[in-house]
Structure 1
Amino acid sequence: MTATADKTAAGGGVARADGATPAEPIPDGVTVTIDDVQVTVPKGTLVIRAAEQIGVQIPRFCDHPLLEPVGACRQCLVEVAVPDREGNVRPMPKPQASCTLEATAGMVVRTAHTSPVADKAQAGVMELLLMNHPLDCPVCDKGGECPLQNQAMTNGAPDTRFVDVKRVFPKPIGVSTQILLDRERCVLCQRCTRFSDEIAGDAFIALQERGARQQIGAFDVDVLGYAASGASPDGVVSTGSTTGGVSAGSTTGDAPVGGAAPTEDGTPFASYFSGNTIQICPVGALTSATYRFRARPFDLVSTPAIAEHDSSCAAIRVDHRRGTVMRRLAGDDPAVNEEWITDKDRFAFAWQSAPDRITTPLVRDRVTTAAGVERGELRPASWVEALELAAEGLERARAAGGVGVLPGGRLTVEDAFAWSRYARTVLGSDDVDQRARAHSAEETAFLAHAVAGTGVGVTFGDLERAPVVLLAGLEAEEEGGYLFLRLRKAVRKHGLRVLGLAPFATLGLRRLDGDLLPAAPGMEGEWLGAVAAQASGVALPADLAPAESAAITAAAAALAEPGAVVLVGERLAGSPGALGAALRLAEATGARLAWVPRRVGERGGVEAGLLPGLLPGGRPITDPAARAEVARAWGVAEAALPTAPGRDLSGVIAALADGTLGGALVGGVELADLPDPAAARAALASAGFVVSLEVRASEVTALADVVLPVAPPVERAGSYVSWEGRVRPFGQALESAALPDHRVLHALAAQAGVNLGADDVRAAHRAVGALPAWTGERVPAPAPVAVEAPSVDAGAAVLASWHLLLDDGALQDGEPHLAGTAKRPVARLSATTAAAAGVRDGERVTVSTGRGAITLPVRVTEMVDHVVWLPLASKGSRVHDALGASPGDVVSLAPAPVAAQTTPSGDGGAA
């Protein structure tokens, strides 16, 4: 053994030319020799991974570091010799697949770089793979970034011996409206099927047939030649499965809006993570309907970025060509999203260049008529004129009672601090609230006490190591994006137990093997309080049902395990006492607590103080020391800052409506998302002066006096703060003259003689870091609230609702292929509730209030009685807008009129 090899064996690491070894030995390491280089790796390491550590690249197709080894393609064959019982190193009789073979002590591996046997084996596999592969590289979307192309050049033969006709299939198969399959390109690596089964849990694509007829395909009954009753010419089954699945043509369940090939049991492909199969496909078999035939990789410029659709803040890559974004791919970030993203993060980017994009400032002139001064039409204006008019109008509004500031939840952290500083120093207003959703004073206190200024808390890694996670008011798959995949990974690999506090077990919770804690909307606080009391040793009430008592006791015991985590969603803001009870539960059990909002900018907004009564970093506005610290950092007199908590969003809207406030500064708020859209529209219409900062035209545009356009994420740099508390910076992908919020507000403040310190992204980021961590008193935790179950009469139910990942949101506009994979809106009722309402599964029910009604197909579900669930903001089910109601409110139920019962499924049927 050489000196270099001796050092490697002793130190545990990779042998280097200078004889140096890593400082830290590898516990339980095994030393193997690969191409005459020794390397020590942890026990259980695959040979293909060990080779990577010394820079030896073994060709492969089926292998992926985040998928279980399968040895399907055989391209990674290597020559292997291992010690026998006497210690003699003997070669194995045949080449071995390095992607399934674990390294063992004394093993000697030779790859194609040093072994003619391995080289011949790999060349033979490549010849078999290319035998039926089509020669369509010039038109294939994978051309230029195709592992098969690269490895055919390095490991393939210069000529083919195959002279027969290549196998062909009808193409492409529409697995969904978004995913297209070209089967003749497939090399049967099974990456797509393994991702679906192992990572997402959505089994939508599988191996078909055997031998030469074997192929990857969706369970499309026509294309694959299977007989199935109820199959339509396009391969979509129109009747529900007898095994409990829901077909693509069904009017109920989780069926997608667009046509999709059904699986073997009739369940349609409706995965939120399907785009990952395109990215990991090593050939061009799976392609995107959006990107297909649009560009080639060598024409694209790539920019690392952060997804703007949820608070997971997944790493992505933006590929653009000639100023147009062509596609987005998952970035490689092991600490956050690994290599996976949601389809929304991948495909929903067309909104940033939509035709209604505002590119120039707009102002509204005041017109004098016989009836008095009236508002005229919006007209384009220069930035100088628009900024002057905006500054003058906001100053008048401040003098007339003050200005309400509604920034919305889309902001970067640099923008959020600029909004907070502008509101407090220029407008002198604490009437600031970023929450364009249901909210409460209890939530404000909770966020100020437990979230703001706390830094990085629970992380994705903590979830993976946790023994149990409670999801309270949070549907991970719909509201957390990538969060769902990390929880599923922890369930599969580490035995994580998931508890879900909700009205019913969703498909996402079932794929997490989760246990349901059944709670009606508004009663989550009672559940959490009971678990906290049990954990504290307080006896449960004697009148509890045995099953409920057992569930509470089991939950308290589980959450007391070291490392347990409680994740609370933004929905708990509408449940009285729930957030305070969650804090007491965490204290009683020792579990760690984290808040997971839905919108990407909400955690950063909390850090910036975009809530009434809260200055940046968790500082209470009523604390003189906190105000003094902020005043010094911002370079203003302490007297310039508000001293009392202001109004929240509902208070601002009410004050605008009655004229108490003189105006409003609004940023990217969709009025239909607010708890009472009608009241918001009326309030802004009657407001004295309204300034809006927007990317695209919206309802606020039609009501604003000055509209200042701002840049979308792809045209600016900045950073978000994820729900973990992790700062996630991103760069500017496209060259643009558009200004981000912080620059617009900096220019607007300059009109008032105030230096906002945010004239560029670096200055804005320095301004964020100018404030030290707050070490003073925090806002007290929310006090306990008595919870009473609502009274529900016959023909009524309590409303449950939350956003689906793919719904009617403005950030999904312009992507019809993605919209086709959104779930059909349905009304979920228990069998008891449906019978009381006089409806059956598949029929249509009308859910109504005094403000309006929504008619949807019924899906009878095992859930809490006297509750009806509707999608919060899907097409045909805009709950806030149509009903003027929020989760926890009582609504009326009735069978839909006969005419409505025949309405085609999937239209939503909003009345």
Structure 2
Amino acid sequence: MPKGTLVIRAAEELGIQIPRFCDHPLLAPAGACRQCLVEVWAPGRDGSLAKMPKPQASCTLEAGPGMQVKTQHSSPEADKAQHGVMEMLLINHPLDCPVCDKGGECPLQNQAMSNGRATSRFVDVKRTFPKPISISTQILLDRERCILCQRCTRFSEEIAGDVFIDLQKRGAQQQIGTFDTQVLGFAGETPAGAAAEDLSGRPFASYFSGNVVQICPVGALTSAAYRFRARPFDLVSTASISEHDSNGSAIRIDHRRGVVLRRLAGEDPTVNEEWISDKDRFAFRWQSAPDRIETPLVRHRNEDGTRGELVPASWVEAFGAAAAGLRAAIDAGTGVGVLPGGRLTLEDAYAYGKLARVALRTNDVDGRARPHSDEEAAFLGHRVAGRTLEVTFADLDRAPLVLLVGLEPEEEGGVLFLRLRKAATQHRTRVVAVAPFASRGLARVAGTLLAAAPGTEAEVLDGIVADASDEALAAAGAALGEPGAVILVGERLAGVPGALSAVLRLAERSGARLAWVPRRAGERGGLEAGLLPSLLPGGRPVADAAARVDLAAVWGVDHLPDAPGRSTAAIVAGARDGSLGALVVGGVDPGDLPDPALARDALEKVGFVVSLEVRESDVTRRADVVLPVAPPVEKPGTFVTWEGRPRPFGQALVSHALPDHRVLDGLAAAMGVDLGLHSLADVHAELDQLGGWDGERVAAPDVAGDEPPQVPPGHAVLATWHLQLDAGRLQDGEPFLAGTAKRPVARVSAATAAQAGVADGAPLAVSTDAGTITLPALVTDMPDLVVWLPTNSPGSAVRDTLHADGGALVRIAAGTADPAQDEEV
């Protein structure tokens, strides 16, 4: 076996189970609980075996040549030692298994039966503490149950890097707790680590805290949302994939009587190992929210021609009304635009693309429900679509350097951040970020910042060469030239003219591999399914005749539209000015679009709107026909990760709700077109038949960067990105989770704050002609004349309020405190 193998791992390989509590394969050995004691005989200097004086902890002892180990199965001494440790652990552990959330899946219960005494000899009063302690709004701690295994503290320190909980005091008073002098009874000096709180000013804003609940071997750490809700033997478990980001994290859905009660991390070494973000774990109630749409809705016209109210209808009536409205737009020559959104499964995305090209005879289809550009479309078609698994999570572990451009992994990537941190801490991978400031996430991967004001990213990227005069740029350029270096590009770069072109130039001259990391779970699958106006499935260019013939043969049609269609922004503009007569809209929130006000106006003015949605939304309230579709928990499908890795999942809950591809198949049938996508097997058969594209690809973009704007006095350049926990609709119904979100702040440099006349922590007003956002200022080491705001957090809806995005000029000034906002955040 490999050198350095622990005895407890060697026993596992031989099929021998040694009881343990503190041991975890992804955490460093601690030897804290002592439950895994074994008898060890090791060769001495003369080669003869000698017994070690005392039983040894097998979770910290490395197996060596000639060593003999006797476990509880073959050694009375080891068995007695394990019984003794178990008896000691149970001295103060409460006998409250019937009301403990861990009851029924508790290692302490199981091992007390298999490796403990049949009766207790303890007759004194057990130690008790006030319970529970709210470590956060989401995580509760029952200290008297804790057996001091330190799994939670080691996870926090080693994996997440959020030191919010630690071992306190000594002897009989030793306990796990937060750094709180009042709770733990400290007098005088504040415990070490008390300053390790989030830079936003809120203690314990970890995005990964739920993992400590799952790995706790007893019921000491529990979830506030799940506490006292169920027992494991009441639950039905289904393996699935998270719908919240493009990582494709494996999860386990536990449900009872048609209601999801909790989600746990699944074990998948290739993607998320055994960890998930709190968003993946806790944000699932949106799928059964009270505003769930249960039946098709049709809006009839009033006698004066105005729109009436939406009324429930049968599927036949709804399909008929939708087909009639779409046919009318096609016959009138105005056509139909398709906006599927970025949260679809691969199968549903494929159905939207086929509906557009076959039934609606248009390439006006775009799955990008966010800021975008023609440069980005060319970049995706040239370098991303059809190129799967060129960069994987495993490659990040081996990379000498990972360059982040337009990407904040902790906020926009979830588990990607944990994999990057593992690479940085265990494999010495260097992380460099091109960003306006060094975030706390970048600090926790020991990253280096290449400071770039919004709009200057292309200039910085072009300056990354080995012989650059700037030391940081030269170091990054040299490291990118090493074999295995990786560049990770975020979707935000689409809003920076010339940046994606500069990324391609950097990858070309350095030889580094390149990967695109979008935020939404369905973005990469939508790209592979052809949800771009210039791209067909598999990366086939719309303008390539051979690609269209290839696709038409599979689809059984004579021809396909050959002109590239309109982007999301152009579709919205066309709907508003009347050049488009109808829209088919998937799960799109106008607030995510570059100009939400314009999008809502377009929905009001366009002649006809068909909406496929799970819940009521701004789109359904303006739609003429609403077709309800199933959320991920109620349908099978496949998400495609940013790596290009397909992640199939099964249906967890029995439901009569239909997936998007079946609804679209029925809609096309009502229009007299057979899409042939009635079942998942039908979709997979077509995808398998299509395969990849080996012809010419879309030409690489070559866009010059814009000159940085002149910033007048009292103005700044806006920088922005989404926080992982914000005001997004997929987090609705989770007040406990919302309580752990970072506090929205406006970040500015010290010079910019002084120019605006605001002190650190004072209200700062950021405004355009459209509106004003007022948040506490947080002085940060960042470029001058730049202000950063969270894109969509409570009190900071940037696109909705300011009608602006990153790179825009905004006004900044001292603001007045808003009591309602202070209470909200």
337, 345, 348: which one aligns with 1:412: 345
Q: Please name the residue that 1:808 is paired with.
A: 727
Counting only pairs closer than 5 Å after superposition, residues 854-865 of structure 1 correspond to structure 2 as 854-865=773-784
Aligned to 2:775, the other structure's residue is in SS state strand
Matched residues in 1 for 2:201 and 2:312: separation? 45
Contact 1:311 1:601 in 2 (8 A): yes
Counting only pairs closer than 5 Å after superposition, residues 349-368 of structure 1 correspond to structure 2 as 349-368=284-303
Contact 2:164 2:196 in 1 (8 A): no
TM-score, reference length from structure 2? 0.98
Q: Please name the residue that 1:234 is paired with.
A: none
Could you tell me how far 1:906 is from its partner in structure 2? 5.5
Contact 1:399 1:662 in 2 (8 A): no
365, 368, 373: which one aligns with 1:432: 365
619, 623, 629: which one aligns with 2:550: 629
Q: Please name the residue that 2:824 is paired with.
A: 907
Q: Aligned partner of 1:610: which letter?
A: L
Q: Aligned partner of 2:619: which letter?
A: V
- Check 1:902–1:346 CA distance in 2 against 1; reply closer, same or farther (3 A cut): closer
58, 68, 82: which one aligns with 2:28: 68
Q: Please name the residue that 2:613 is paired with.
A: 694
Aligned to 2:692, the other structure's residue is in SS state coil
37, 42, 48: which one aligns with 2:8: 48
Matched residues in 1 for 2:194 and 2:754: separation? 23
Q: Please name the residue that 2:707 is paired with.
A: 788
- Check 1:814–1:56 CA distance in 2 against 1; reply closer, same or farther (3 A cut): same
31, 38, 41: which one aligns with 1:78: 38
Could you tell me how far 1:223 is from its partner in structure 2? 1.6
Q: Please name the residue that 2:87 is paired with.
A: 127
Contact 1:413 1:608 in 2 (8 A): yes
Q: Please name the residue that 2:506 is paired with.
A: 585
Aligned to 1:138, the other structure's residue is in SS state helix
Q: Please name the residue that 1:279 is paired with.
A: 214
Q: Aligned partner of 1:194: which letter?
A: R
524, 533, 553: which one aligns with 2:474: 553
Matched residues in 2 for 1:694 and 1:190: separation? 45
Contact 1:678 1:881 in 2 (8 A): yes
Residue 374, structure 1, aligned to residue 309, structure 2: no
Matched residues in 1 for 2:567 and 2:578: separation? 16
Contact 2:361 2:561 in 1 (8 A): yes
Could you tell me how far 1:757 is from its partner in structure 2? 2.0
Counting only pairs closer than 5 Å after superposition, residues 469-548 of structure 1 correspond to structure 2 as 469-531=402-464, 534=465
Could you tell me how far 1:872 is from its partner in structure 2? 0.2
Deviation digits for residues 48-73 of structure 1 (CA, Å, limit 9, x no counterpart): 00000011000000000000001000
Matched residues in 1 for 2:330 and 2:410: separation? 43
Residue 391, structure 1, aligned to residue 312, structure 2: no
Question: Which stretches in structure 2 are left out of the alignment for 5+ residues?
Answer: none
Matched residues in 2 for 1:765 and 1:809: separation? 31
Q: Aligned partner of 1:398: which letter?
A: I
Could you tell me how far 1:758 is from its partner in structure 2? 1.4
Aligned to 2:546, the other structure's residue is in SS state helix
Matched residues in 1 for 2:618 and 2:818: separation? 32
Q: Please name the residue that 1:17 is paired with.
A: none
Contact 2:164 2:197 in 1 (8 A): no
Residue 669, structure 1, aligned to residue 588, structure 2: yes
Matched residues in 2 for 1:145 and 1:755: separation? 50
Q: Aligned partner of 1:528: which letter?
A: L
Counting only pairs closer than 5 Å after superposition, residues 818-829 of structure 1 correspond to structure 2 as 818-829=737-748
Residue 332, structure 1, aligned to residue 267, structure 2: yes
Matched residues in 2 for 1:770 and 1:810: separation? 36
Could you tell me how far 1:118 is from its partner in structure 2? 0.3
Contact 2:499 2:705 in 1 (8 A): no
Q: Aligned partner of 2:128: which letter?
A: V
Matched residues in 2 for 1:205 and 1:770: separation? 53
Could you tell me how far 1:457 is from its partner in structure 2? 1.5
509, 531, 537: which one aligns with 1:616: 537
Could you tell me how far 1:886 is from its partner in structure 2? 0.6
Deviation digits for residues 754-799 of structure 1 (CA, Å, limit 9, x no counterpart): 2212111122222222203211110000014133111101110000
Q: Aligned partner of 1:510: which letter?
A: A
- Check 1:567–1:138 CA distance in 2 against 1; reply closer, same or farther (3 A cut): same
Identity %: 66
Aligned to 2:552, the other structure's residue is in SS state helix
Matched residues in 2 for 1:255 and 1:743: separation? 48
Q: Aligned partner of 1:764: which letter?
A: V
Residue 833, structure 1, aligned to residue 752, structure 2: yes
Matched residues in 1 for 2:188 and 2:356: separation? 63
Q: Please name the residue that 1:191 is paired with.
A: 151
Aligned to 2:500, the other structure's residue is in SS state helix
54, 57, 60: which one aligns with 1:94: 54
Could you tell me how far 1:751 is from its partner in structure 2? 1.2
Could you tell me how far 1:286 is from its partner in structure 2? 0.2
- Check 1:66–1:746 CA distance in 2 against 1; reply closer, same or farther (3 A cut): same
Counting only pairs closer than 5 Å after superposition, residues 735-884 of structure 1 correspond to structure 2 as 735-884=654-803
Deviation digits for residues 797-816 of structure 1 (CA, Å, limit 9, x no counterpart): 00000000000000000000
Contact 1:255 1:270 in 2 (8 A): no
Matched residues in 1 for 2:323 and 2:425: separation? 56
Deviation digits for residues 223-278 of structure 1 (CA, Å, limit 9, x no counterpart): 2112479x9xxxxx9xxx9996558xxxxx4244xxxxxxxxxxx11100000000
Matched residues in 1 for 2:493 and 2:705: separation? 15
329, 333, 336: which one aligns with 1:403: 336
Contact 1:526 1:787 in 2 (8 A): no
Aligned to 1:125, the other structure's residue is in SS state helix
TM-score, reference length from structure 1? 0.89
Q: Aligned partner of 1:254: which letter?
A: S
Counting only pairs closer than 5 Å after superposition, residues 645-656 of structure 1 correspond to structure 2 as 645-656=564-575
Matched residues in 1 for 2:778 and 2:244: separation? 28
Could you tell me how far 1:903 is from its partner in structure 2? 6.2
Counting only pairs closer than 5 Å after superposition, residues 878-893 of structure 1 correspond to structure 2 as 878-893=797-812
Deviation digits for residues 717-750 of structure 1 (CA, Å, limit 9, x no counterpart): 0001000000000000000000000000011111
Could you tell me how far 1:89 is from its partner in structure 2? 1.1
Matched residues in 1 for 2:330 and 2:526: separation? 23
Q: Aligned partner of 1:905: which letter?
A: D
Q: Aligned partner of 1:863: which letter?
A: M
Q: Please name the residue that 2:602 is paired with.
A: 683
Matched residues in 2 for 1:740 and 1:887: separation? 35
595, 600, 603: which one aligns with 2:516: 595
Could you tell me how far 1:353 is from its partner in structure 2? 0.2
Matched residues in 1 for 2:782 and 2:193: separation? 21
Could you tell me how far 1:902 is from its partner in structure 2? 6.1
Question: Which stretches in structure 1 are left out of the alignment for 5+ residues?
Answer: 1-40, 232-236, 248-252, 257-267, 541-545
RMSD of equivalent CA atoms = 1.5
Aligned to 2:233, the other structure's residue is in SS state helix
Could you tell me how far 1:550 is from its partner in structure 2? 2.0
Deviation digits for residues 369-423 of structure 1 (CA, Å, limit 9, x no counterpart): 2xxx110000000001001110111111122311110000110000011100000
Q: Please name the residue that 1:250 is paired with.
A: none
Contact 1:825 1:906 in 2 (8 A): no
Count of residue pairs the alignment pairs up: 824
Could you tell me how far 1:904 is from its partner in structure 2? 6.3
Contact 2:7 2:58 in 1 (8 A): yes
Matched residues in 2 for 1:228 and 1:866: separation? 42
Deviation digits for residues 159-187 of structure 1 (CA, Å, limit 9, x no counterpart): 11111000000000000000000000000
Residue 167, structure 1, aligned to residue 88, structure 2: no
